[in-house]
Structure 1
Amino acid sequence: MTGGRPEGTIGRVEAVAGDYEFAPLRIPPGTSRSAAATMLSLQADTGGWELARLQLHADGTCKVILRRRARLSYLPKPHI
């Protein structure tokens, strides 16, 4: 683990260029595809988040970047 954050947690939500805000998420190795898909679909349904980028690392960790329009900031932040 790097970055000083437990795996499976959401990082700091950042607004970039005023159009979108981004939230990084790391999914730990060993998480099934269906569990990861369920987590991401819940974020989309409840918080207006969409998938911006997904990186699969050699150790099995998955780095996900979620985004949503900045005007939707009244919606809940992602939680896992």
Structure 2
Amino acid sequence: MKAAMALATQITSAAPRSVQMTKAAIHRSYELAQMRTALLEALETDILIEADESPERLEFNRIRKEQGLKAALAWRDARA
């Protein structure tokens, strides 16, 4: 508790604008850390999607290789 009070006293003696800017920087750091986590989660999901070998995905890729992307997209859209 004594150390916390000493730190609080030190912070309150600093220029208010400097304290506000430092606080904002700390908040941005936490937001960026959360963004990094979100991007890593999205990447993991994308890897799983790309690795999926469902019958639909295999057929789409077969059509794409044999007839081209337009044909594969038309096949996909006709299924909807």
TM-score range, shorter chain: under 0.3
Larger radius of gyration: 2
TM-score by length of 1: 0.23
Q: Which has the higher contact order (CA 8 A, sep 6+)?
A: 1
TM-score by length of 2: 0.23
The answer to which structure has the higher helix fraction is: 2
The answer to which structure has the higher strand fraction is: 1
